[in-house]
Amino acid sequence: MKILFASSEAYPFSKTGGLADMAYALPKALSKLGHDVRIITPYYQTISKHHHRMAFLGKSSVNMGGTTTEVNYFTLKEDGMSYIFVQNMHYFERDKLYGYNDDAERFSCFSYAILEGMETFDFFPHILHLNDWQTGMVPYLLDQHYRPRNGHYFSIHTLLSIHNLEYQGSFDTYVSRFFNTDFDYAYIHFDRVNFLKAGIERATKINTVSPTYRDEIMTGDGGFSLDGALMRRQDDLVGILNGIDTDLFDPRNDPMLETQYGIKDVKKGKRLNKESLLHQFDLDVDLDTPLVSYIGRLASQKGINLMTRSLEEVIMYSEARFILMGSGNDSYEDYFRYLAEKFPGKVANYIGFNESIAHRLYAASDIFMMPSRFEPCGLGQMIAMRYGTLPVVRETGGLKDTVTPYNKFTGQGTGFSFSHYDANDFKEKLFEAINLYHSDKDMWDGLVRNAMKTDFSQKKMAEAYVSLYQIILGV
Ligand code: ADP
């Protein structure tokens, strides 16, 4: 099968969150299953350092609302996969990936470039796999402008994966001029242009990244106002659980770790990693004390409000160390700084994005907090479990589908979970986890083994996508 995977971010070249990881893990696993996959993604500023390895593929013209822009295509192979970068200096070579006033124009350009590129570099896929709002307009533009062009375009099937429904690409209606069509309700939602809504209307099939999130987004609570549009397409909407790249996230072979370890020497391995990280972060070194961590975007989605209402009490009344890592919302960053200042020796923070510190923190930690308000899938908790770190999560979306709650009677479980979005419930679970670490080492070690044994492999995920592609193609 020929698959073109279009994503606004792709590890290891650009990353703000889980979409980038997925844009690496899934194409790689699909290639291993024998499919011909190309990843198409913007050429951001940070990518220029790889330029010497790239080959020029061609160029095309993008016409948006009467203005013509040129884009270049470059390709390189990484880990056996073909990446195609869409270069337009004006739109993409900036400091950040998103958050500009002209994002609608930037990602309209990317959308056209994907479609134009197929002709330029002669790769017409059976499946055009789109991701999130940045590529949400592609099925619409394909219908309006490209299917009539020739049979290659005519027979393309699309899949839109929704990684996070909160981000919809909602803009003032003036941006519709970039679509080169008459006004159309297909992309209008509450009097605004909505890229994701257009994708929901027009993609052949839609999926989201966990079965539970699939159900949640069709409710008023979880639908971010698109529940009606999704309900209308419920027969074409499926939930496929994300996997993680088990080669990239493998404590046995992770070059970023102080000490590598597997399930057999997990206790020793984690202690050595913990020792070095506690030193690095200037925390009091006590290896019999659990290290509790957070790694993630500092956005309200992640349940940081539950932390601001409960963490101080947990820090004061428990024997534990805390390392809080992330960036985003200023007030949450300030809160992490405040905790580190108030509890020197016990709490540290890392404000920023750093892949290697994140890996080392997953390995060194014993407990990983992820009390999300909603969570389409969540990779953090899966990575944590793979590194023998037990997650404390709220039972929502993919967190519910991936973490088996601890059962004190049977010893089953891979983490701790609570159901209501309530700071007290979170606090109690966190205390429970810390107390269990101190009071029942055998039980704890059993849970760590359960967590490490869980299969979150990208192979499982890729097989599920292949089945969906086959349904789409009717083969
Ligand atoms: P989301 O996609 O909502 O941001 P996920 O849990 O699905 O959340 O994926 C987050 C990914 O980004 C994980 O690989 C996580 O380790 C990584 N990550 C998040 N914050 C940081 C950070 N500050 N530094 C390094 N890696 C981070």
Residue whose tokens read 């209008």: 188
Cα of 145 vs centre of ligand 1, distance in Å, is: 36
Taking CA atoms, 155 is separated from 35, 149, 175, 367, in Å, by: 18, 11, 28, 49
**Dist CA 431 CA 373 (whole Å):** 20
Quick one: tokens of 324? 């809080």
pTM as predicted: 0.92
Q: What are the residues whose beta carbons fall under 8 Å from the beta carbon of 436, sequence distance 6 or more?
A: 406, 443, 444
Banded pLDDT at 426 (limits 50, 70, 90): very high
Tens of pLDDT, residue by residue over 150-193, are 999 999 999 999 999 999 999 999 999 999 999 999 999 999 99
Mean of the pLDDT values across residues 457-468?
A: 95
DSSP string, 59-117: EEEEEETTEEEEEEEEEEEETTEEEEEEE-HHHH-SSSSS--TTHHHHHHHHHHHHHHH
Tens of pLDDT, residue by residue over 206-241, are 999 999 999 999 999 999 999 999 999 999 999 999
Q: Is the pLDDT of residue 475 over 90?
A: no
**Per-residue pLDDT at 79:** 86
SS3 207: strand
Residues with CB under 6 A from ligand 1: 17-18, 21, 295-297, 325-327, 353-355, 358, 378-380, 383
**Dist CA 347 CA 320 (whole Å):** 9
CATH number of 2-243+459-473: 3.40.50.2000
Residue nearest to atom 16 of ligand 1 (CA): 380
Cα of 153 vs centre of ligand 1, distance in Å, is: 35
Cα of 296 vs centre of ligand 1, distance in Å, is: 5
Q: What are the residues whose beta carbons fall under 8 Å from the beta carbon of 67, sequence distance 6 or more?
A: none
Tens of pLDDT, residue by residue over 19-74, are 999 999 999 999 999 999 999 999 999 999 999 999 999 999 999 999 999 999 99
Residue range 266-456 forms a domain whose CATH class is: alpha beta
Q: Is the pLDDT of residue 466 over 90?
A: yes
**Per-residue pLDDT at 324:** 98
Q: Counting atoms of ligand 1 from 1, which one is nearest the CA of 362? A: 16
Quick one: tokens of 1? 């099968």
- As annotated, the residues of the chain forming the CATH 3.40.50.2000 domain(s) are 2-243+459-473, 266-456
Tens of pLDDT, residue by residue over 346-375, are 999 999 999 999 999 999 999 999 999 999
**Per-residue pLDDT at 18:** 86
Tens of pLDDT, residue by residue over 123-159, are 999 999 999 999 999 999 999 999 999 999 999 999 9
